[in-house]
Amino acid sequence: MAAGTNVPVQTFGSLKPVAAGDLTVLSFVNGDVTNGNRVKASGREVLIAWNSHASTAYDITIAGPADSDGRTGNVTKELAAGEHVIVILAMDGYKFATGDNAGHYLITPENAAIRFAAIRLPSGVR
C-alpha cells in the first residue's frame, strides 16, 4: 500500500484563550481517494472529517491493521452532505506499525469532497 497523503496536524494556540490570537482556525485538506490520507500518530490526535458536497453523502474508512487485541477490520462511517464528524484517534489499534504508513493513522474518503483537519491535543489533556 502506498503512503497516504499527509493531513498536517495542527496545535492549539492556548488551552486558556484570553485573546483572539490564542484561538486556532482549522485548515482542511482535500481527501485523497487513491492513496488515502494519513495522520502522524502520537496518541493525542483528533480528526475532523467534513463532507463538503452540497447534496451527496460519502463514506470515510479508517483502516484497522491487525493488532495484539485481535482487531483486523476497518471502520466506515457515512457522512451526509455538509456533515462533520469528529474522530478521536488516540488508539494504537489503528496506528500502522509497518510499511509506508508506519506511525500513522490511515483514513480513506470515498470522494474528494471529504475534507480533513487534524489537531493534536497538548500533553496532559485528558
pLDDT, tens digit (0-9, with 9 covering 90-100), for 81-94: 999 999 887 666 77
pLDDT, tens digit (0-9, with 9 covering 90-100), for 46-85: 899 999 999 999 999 998 766 676 766 788 999 999 999 9
For residue 13, pLDDT beyond 60: no
Give the pLDDT of residue 94: 78
Give the pLDDT of residue 54: 96
Which residue, chain included where needed, has cell 484517534? 89
Across the strands, what pairs with 30? 115
As a three-state string, the secondary structure of the chain is CCCCEECCEEECCCCCCCCHHHCCCCCCEECCCCCCEEEECCCCEEEEEEECCCCCCEEEEECCCCCCCCCCCCEEEEECCCCEEEEECCCHHHECCCCCCCCEEEEEECCCCEEEEEEECCCCCC
